[in-house]
Chain A
């Protein structure tokens, strides 16, 4: 175009303008030149991945990115696919963030491989999910991931290739392990698929291992059903930590509609399981030894049937609660087919007995199978009527098992047989609750045997205890209905035998098995709470206390270090055991003494000590303790408490002192609550005076005095004799108390701790003096004579072997008098006993001038000072 344009212009020009061009010179660009320059921001060229620059991108060992790897997973070559999966695993391991970002995309691509034709690829994929992807997605939206996978898993389950199907179940298992709640939304479909696969038993005949795996998966699914995992759920529901009272509960159980669908599926599943079980049985009876795998299969099948039956029972229970739920006959009618199948085919086979003599291992395996069948039978027995002759057979087996006759003796106490027995034990309470018969007696006899024989602290013991707990209510209900029935009487006897076992068990357990102790104590408490309704039971319960003594305090001789296992149990168990005490209809002195002994053990926590006192007092208020015993225990507490811990050579521990003071306060307030102070005083007066004569340590006697003061009244009610005893004792007590003061004690510093503690010691005396002036007079006289004594026979007394000793005493008397004088009320009373004070001063001055005692100048000075201080008092 441009050219033709130029041509057309030429004719227009007149002349050609000659342009001379020089060789070598560059021509100017023509005017009509086309611009051939290409401009672009970037040039994208398809290139080879090997050559590409991947700096900054996440790559695996082989330098491939996630995108490439995912693309390769759908490669037609199985080897490439497998390598890609391995690569992804490697990549994700190296770069966890990469997985976080792209996990949904990755899963979406990877799930296609669940139905992969190649076995190795599937294995690798399984491995990838198991070890990397699912653990990495724990915190994310698990529902979404599951829903992404499930469709493909179900698809693979219906694949033509048998291997793929089996593998799909493995995947399902994996997913359910990863997020169990997802089960409920797919339950119906899952069971359908299990049923389909189990029907194809011709495939399994060669490979028992695979069947075993599938069954294991099925059992896992069945035990995920909400009613089958009930026990574990209860533990989590301890909602003490909840902040709101009425919080929203998000763990919704499967709706009743979904439930009935699942039951329907299970109904289809059960016959399939039974059939496959029946296929095994001829081999068992015929063969000399049981093959490990087929034994495993049989056991799993039985377990599965058991779980299904349990679901039916649960469904039946639910129906009885709300009968008008659905018109469709779900309950009894539903399972006639299954139960009749079981009755016709499975139950008559019991007990599976070998045709030949078996090795020990095989024999035990057979026992396991028998146990499983028995369990199913008993489960069903709870719910529908089964022929009595069959029942007889099973109960006999159960009895044998409990007596330990079924298993070989050599292995009778291993963990496996224990586990079996625990399962059987569950049925005893259920059986008992149906009413008494001659079989209950036989079973209970076996049960009692087990209870006695099982090792303390073992799981079996624990199961026994909880079985007793379960039986408590039905047995009591039966007993309250008709007492005269001889079978009921037998029940009662068994119950009493169990109760008698409890204290022995507690002592055997010691502090080694706190969990078991707690269960035993809880059982004891429950028995105690219910004991009243039955007189012989109450009697039995009361009898326990004699044996329980050792539980609190191991030696009765009054020696040191004799605390029983109680002291070392955890706090909850201690609380339970204390609560048990409350329910004894009468607490005798021996057990009270052993409790007191345990209270005084230094190992015991202070709060427990107060709790014990509280409970003892509660029991007293209910009339379970005689008042004399109650008071004597209080006095024992006060008398035997040791303020200075052992090995501290008489030094007082401040904490113990505090505890002791608050304990005394508590005891005194309880004594005041008893009411009838005069009566209380009457009871305790003689005991306390007797003990005071024995000169207990300062703190203990102070508390004893506080007790007297609490129940005494303004004109004292103490007898003449006690006042005389007190008079002589108090003078020594006061002197001892005053010696707690430092020698250079300054009257001005009133806040010193020593002063307050001395005041604490003096206070009960002040009360006594206030109520009985005569007592003060007596005390003054005694103090005077004490000084006189020391001046007369300085060498005869132990006290006055050294002059400084009696000097201390004189000093103490002086401080006591000064302290008494400081109290305004006491001052008044003191002023009416001038002559007593006078005589003391007289004695001091005579001591001063005494020549029998040789004193240093310093001592003389001191006594002079004391004399002066006392003189001040008189003015």
Chain B
């Protein structure tokens, strides 16, 4: 199941719709998420930064898929606006208004690292495809690429003159969105800014590959999966198509490298997402509608009425509802079962960990690195596995295996049938062919 999740910066909850059937799912309550503040953590649960006018500081809330109420509340040291999680959902990164980036471990809620990244508030955060790089955009107009290896290597980061791998300072105003393409170290990064431009950067050389000037401010961008083009949602309600690896006509009416545009004749486009399966483009707008477009024909396929207020975030997620349910049944934890503990405010748990560690590691320079592997997480996992050895767990395991067995048997039968059919067909063909020749 592919679910479109949308949230707003004014309270309208988190709306979820099945992308292919259009059925509305559970609406999660009380969410005021700023742009780029909503994220699905590995498909297991939803996390969102929360910036309501009532509370002074920002907080981060978790929702499980099955419950509309807030599952876990965390209160970080400062207001966090953008959030991002790596693909398996083991880490959450958040960007603070002071320009700091925080990195938490989801399983334990530990603040693993915090570093000063920008001169002004971080506006967007995104992990690269292989989760080794974190790309951040800021209000000061810079886009920086952080290697997590560097961040966690205390020795190297002390030696190096700067922590970041690249710092792109081409934008004159606040960066509104950043996306990274495929291709590992040779990927491209596209950044949009309030200075009405989108810039394409090369990750390998750190060079500016292309500068595209739009007729309006671009608030959201999304890459076409094949990276032929990218779509840019503008404040005047149009979605522009800009060329990447495709031939662009110089004589376009909008400007260099802009191939065309399509419009929903409404207020500004605030966020864009691309469907996981199917060639679908999903846009959220200031008027509170979520529109699903056929990316090829640019026709609206579906429309979700979200709320009156502006949509600030859209994610397309494949929620792991089944597996989480099973765990919640089996595990001994009673409430908020499938959600991890809240994120910590300060990173202070390093000391007690060190106490447990053998002292001989201290002399080694790699010691610092080791401490970030958070050994007690692993030991708790081991504990859990041992508990799984109990009768209930083994029963469950048996059930699972039986399920699997049945499924496999069905598959086998199906394959057999298919083989039979194919065999018959071939024989028939051969015979027919032979007769015809005769």
Chain A interface (Cβ < 8 Å from any Cβ of B): 237, 239-246, 476, 480, 525, 529-533, 575-576, 579, 582, 611, 614-615, 618, 622, 669, 673, 675
Q: How far is the CB of A469 from chain B (nearest CB, A)?
A: 11
Measured CA separation A267–B188 after assembly (Å): 41
Cβ of A237: which chain B residues have Cβ within 8 Å of it? 207
Chain B interface (Cβ < 8 Å from any Cβ of A): 10, 99, 116, 119-120, 139-142, 172-174, 186, 188, 194-196, 200, 202, 207-211, 217, 235, 244-245, 247-248, 256, 267, 286
A579-B195, A582-B174, A669-B267 known; A240+B140 contact, CB < 8 A? no
Is A240's CB under 8 angstroms from B211's CB? Answer: yes
Partner of A576, one of B172, B196, B211, B235: B172
Cβ of B174: which chain A residues have Cβ within 8 Å of it? 582, 618, 622
Measured CA separation A575–B188 after assembly (Å): 27
Cβ of A529: which chain B residues have Cβ within 8 Å of it? 119-120, 140-142
Q: How far is the CB of A620 from chain B (nearest CB, A)?
A: 13
> Which chain A residue shows the least CB distance to B97?
A532
Top 9 closest pairs, chain A to chain B, by CB: A529-B140, A579-B172, A530-B119, A532-B120, A533-B119, A579-B173, A245-B209, A240-B211, A618-B194
Cβ of A611: which chain B residues have Cβ within 8 Å of it? 196
Cβ of A614: which chain B residues have Cβ within 8 Å of it? 217, 235
Is B172's CB under 8 angstroms from A575's CB? Answer: yes
The CB with the most chain A CB atoms within 10 A, among B210, B256, B267, is that of B210
Measured CA separation A564–B423 after assembly (Å): 87
Is A240's CB under 8 angstroms from B256's CB? Answer: yes
Q: How far is the CB of A41 from chain B (nearest CB, A)?
A: 61
Measured CA separation A669–B235 after assembly (Å): 11
Is A582's CB under 8 angstroms from B173's CB? Answer: yes
> Which chain A residue shows the least CB distance to B245?
A245
Q: How far is the CB of B236 from chain A (nearest CB, A)?
A: 9
Measured CA separation A576–B186 after assembly (Å): 32
Is A245's CB under 8 angstroms from B173's CB? Answer: no
Q: How far is the CB of A524 from chain B (nearest CB, A)?
A: 11
19 contacts between A and B (CB under 8 A): A239-B208, A240-B256, A241-B256, A242-B209, A245-B209, A245-B210, A245-B244, A530-B140, A532-B99, A532-B119, A532-B120, A532-B140, A533-B119, A533-B120, A579-B172, A582-B173, A618-B174, A673-B267, A675-B10
Measured CA separation A241–B116 after assembly (Å): 36
A239-B209, A529-B141, A673-B286 known; A245+B200 contact, CB < 8 A? yes
Q: How far is the CB of B211 from chain A (nearest CB, A)?
A: 5
Measured CA separation A529–B247 after assembly (Å): 35
Cβ of A669: which chain B residues have Cβ within 8 Å of it? 267
Cβ of A533: which chain B residues have Cβ within 8 Å of it? 99, 119-120
Known: A476-B119, A673-B286. 9 other contacts (CB 8 A): A245-B188, A245-B244, A245-B245, A480-B116, A529-B142, A579-B173, A622-B174, A669-B267, A673-B267
Q: How far is the CB of A845 from chain B (nearest CB, A)?
A: 49
Is A618's CB under 8 angstroms from B210's CB? Answer: no
Is B245's CB under 8 angstroms from A243's CB? Answer: no
Measured CA separation A794–B247 after assembly (Å): 74
The CB with the most chain A CB atoms within 10 A, among B116, B120, B188, B208, is that of B120
- The secondary-structure label for the interface of chain A is helix
Measured CA separation A532–B196 after assembly (Å): 23
Q: How far is the CB of B9 from chain A (nearest CB, A)?
A: 10
Cβ of A476: which chain B residues have Cβ within 8 Å of it? 119
Partner of B172, one of A242, A525, A622: A525
Q: How far is the CB of A756 from chain B (nearest CB, A)?
A: 21
> Which chain A residue shows the least CB distance to B205?
A249
Cβ of A480: which chain B residues have Cβ within 8 Å of it? 116
> Which chain B residue shows the least CB distance to A525?
B172
Is B173's CB under 8 angstroms from A618's CB? Answer: yes
Cβ of B196: which chain A residues have Cβ within 8 Å of it? 611
Q: How far is the CB of A233 from chain B (nearest CB, A)?
A: 13
Measured CA separation A237–B208 after assembly (Å): 9
Q: How far is the CB of A234 from chain B (nearest CB, A)?
A: 11
Measured CA separation A530–B116 after assembly (Å): 13
Partner of B210, one of A242, A531, A532, A579: A242
Measured CA separation A611–B186 after assembly (Å): 35
Q: How far is the CB of A76 from chain B (nearest CB, A)?
A: 60
Q: How far is the CB of B160 from chain A (nearest CB, A)?
A: 12
Q: How far is the CB of B197 from chain A (nearest CB, A)?
A: 10
Measured CA separation A462–B141 after assembly (Å): 24
Is A575's CB under 8 angstroms from B210's CB? Answer: no
Cβ of B140: which chain A residues have Cβ within 8 Å of it? 529-530, 532
Cβ of A241: which chain B residues have Cβ within 8 Å of it? 256
Measured CA separation A80–B50 after assembly (Å): 94
Measured CA separation A239–B207 after assembly (Å): 10
Measured CA separation A669–B216 after assembly (Å): 14
Q: How far is the CB of A428 from chain B (nearest CB, A)?
A: 19
Measured CA separation A163–B77 after assembly (Å): 79
Cβ of B267: which chain A residues have Cβ within 8 Å of it? 669, 673
Measured CA separation A675–B140 after assembly (Å): 26
The CB with the most chain A CB atoms within 10 A, among B173, B188, B200, B245, is that of B173
Cβ of B194: which chain A residues have Cβ within 8 Å of it? 582, 615, 618
Q: How far is the CB of B36 from chain A (nearest CB, A)?
A: 15
A529-B140, A532-B120, A576-B172 known; A243+B217 contact, CB < 8 A? no
Q: How far is the CB of A262 from chain B (nearest CB, A)?
A: 24
Measured CA separation A237–B207 after assembly (Å): 10
Measured CA separation A579–B245 after assembly (Å): 31
Measured CA separation A244–B174 after assembly (Å): 27
Cβ of B245: which chain A residues have Cβ within 8 Å of it? 244-245
> Which chain A residue shows the least CB distance to B204?
A246
Q: How far is the CB of B424 from chain A (nearest CB, A)?
A: 51
Cβ of B210: which chain A residues have Cβ within 8 Å of it? 239-240, 242, 245
Measured CA separation A246–B244 after assembly (Å): 10
Cβ of A525: which chain B residues have Cβ within 8 Å of it? 172
Cβ of B247: which chain A residues have Cβ within 8 Å of it? 243
Q: How far is the CB of A671 from chain B (nearest CB, A)?
A: 13
Cβ of A622: which chain B residues have Cβ within 8 Å of it? 139, 174
Cβ of A576: which chain B residues have Cβ within 8 Å of it? 172
Measured CA separation A545–B200 after assembly (Å): 33
> Which chain B residue shows the least CB distance to A521?
B172
Measured CA separation A579–B142 after assembly (Å): 14
Q: How far is the CB of A613 from chain B (nearest CB, A)?
A: 12
> Which chain A residue shows the least CB distance to B256?
A240
Measured CA separation A622–B173 after assembly (Å): 12
Measured CA separation A611–B215 after assembly (Å): 10
Cβ of A675: which chain B residues have Cβ within 8 Å of it? 10
Q: How far is the CB of B182 from chain A (nearest CB, A)?
A: 13
Q: How far is the CB of B295 from chain A (nearest CB, A)?
A: 20
Measured CA separation A611–B256 after assembly (Å): 19
Cβ of A582: which chain B residues have Cβ within 8 Å of it? 173-174, 194
Q: How far is the CB of A614 from chain B (nearest CB, A)?
A: 7
Partner of A575, one of B10, B195, B217: B195
Q: How far is the CB of A626 from chain B (nearest CB, A)?
A: 17
Cβ of A673: which chain B residues have Cβ within 8 Å of it? 267, 286
Q: How far is the CB of B416 from chain A (nearest CB, A)?
A: 49
Cβ of B120: which chain A residues have Cβ within 8 Å of it? 529-530, 532-533
Cβ of A246: which chain B residues have Cβ within 8 Å of it? 186, 202, 209
Is A243's CB under 8 angstroms from B248's CB? Answer: yes
Cβ of B186: which chain A residues have Cβ within 8 Å of it? 246
Cβ of A240: which chain B residues have Cβ within 8 Å of it? 210-211, 256
Q: How far is the CB of A324 from chain B (nearest CB, A)?
A: 16
Measured CA separation A669–B217 after assembly (Å): 15
Measured CA separation A532–B119 after assembly (Å): 7
Cβ of A242: which chain B residues have Cβ within 8 Å of it? 209-210
Measured CA separation A245–B244 after assembly (Å): 7
Q: How far is the CB of B288 from chain A (nearest CB, A)?
A: 12
Q: How far is the CB of A78 from chain B (nearest CB, A)?
A: 56
Measured CA separation A669–B116 after assembly (Å): 37
Measured CA separation A245–B116 after assembly (Å): 32
Q: How far is the CB of B150 from chain A (nearest CB, A)?
A: 15
Measured CA separation A239–B210 after assembly (Å): 7
